[in-house]
C-alpha cells in the first residue's frame, strides 16, 4: 500500500531535487515534492530518511522511480541522496523541449559537489542523443558529463543525432 509522505523531514529531499535540476525547467524548482513509498523510516538522530517499495518522487516534470531511496543529512542540510532499483528511472522535461531521462541500478546525488552519478548499466538521454556506460557522472555546476571508469576498461557508447536543418 503506497502512502504520500509529507513532513518537515522532506525538506532535505526538496532542497536536493530543487538544486539538482540545472539542466531542466526552472518552473520545476518551484513545485512541491511528492514522495510515495510502501514504507518510510526517518531517523532525525542519524540524519537519514529511507523510503522503500515502489518509490516515486515527483516535482513538476521531474520523476524518479526506484525500489529504495535513502536521503542523508548532516547538521540539517542534505549531504547525499542514493536511489537503488531494477532500474532507477529519472525523467524530466528539459530546456528547449529536449527531455532528459536516465536509467541505472543506482543513482547518487552528492549535494556538496552538485554531482549526479548513475552506475551499473547507466544510460543518459537528452532528446535523441544518448550516453551509455557502466558509470556516468553529471556535474551540474560545470554542465559536463563523464562516462566510463577512471582506470579505463569500461566502454562508453555515445549516439549523437544529426541536427535538423534550419527552416528557410
**CATH fold of the domain at 3-159:** lipopolysaccharide transport protein A fold (2.60.450)
Q: What is the pLDDT of residue 61?
A: 82
pTM of the prediction? Answer: 0.75
CA distance 63 to 72: 20
Rounded Cα distance between 133 and 130, Å, is 10
Q: What is the dihedral of CA 16, 20, 21, 27, to 10 degrees?
A: 40
pLDDT, position 83:
95
Return averaged pLDDT per consecutive 10 residues of the chain, 168 residues in all.
38 40 56 84 90 90 91 83 94 76 92 86 86 86 76 71 70
Cβ atoms 23, 140 nearer than 8 A: yes
In this predicted structure, what is the pLDDT of residue 138? Answer: 81
pLDDT of residue 110: 86
Q: What is the pLDDT of residue 15?
A: 39
Residue 78 is predicted with a pLDDT of 76
- Structural domain spans, the chain: 3-159
Amino acid at each position: 500500500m503506497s502512502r504520500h509522505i509529507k513532513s518537515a523531514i522532506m525538506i532535505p529531499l526538496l532542497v536536493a531535487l530543487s538544486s539538482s535540476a540545472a539542466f531542466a525547467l526552472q518552473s520545476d524548482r518551484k513545485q512541491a515534492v511528492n514522495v510515495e513509498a510502501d514504507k518510510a523510516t526517518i531517523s532525525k538522530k542519524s540524519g537519514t530518511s529511507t523510503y522503500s517499495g515502489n518509490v516515486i518522487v515527483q516535482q513538476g516534470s521531474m520523476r524518479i522511480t526506484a525500489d529504495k531511496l535513502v536521503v542523508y543529512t548532516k547538521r540539517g542540510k542534505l549531504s547525499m541522496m542514493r536511489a537503488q532499483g531494477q532500474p532507477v528511472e529519472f525523467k524530466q522535461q528539459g530546456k528547449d523541449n529536449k527531455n532528459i531521462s536516465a536509467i541505472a541500478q543506482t543513482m547518487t546525488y552528492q549535494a556538496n559537489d552538485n554531482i549526479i552519478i548513475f552506475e551499473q548499466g547507466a544510460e543518459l538521454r537528452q532528446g535523441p542523443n544518448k550516453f551509455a556506460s557502466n558509470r556516468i557522472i553529471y556535474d551540474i555546476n560545470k554542465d559536463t558529463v563523464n562516462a566510463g571508469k577512471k582506470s579505463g576498461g569500461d566502454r562508453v557508447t555515445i549516439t549523437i543525432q544529426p541536427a535538423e536543418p534550419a527552416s528557410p
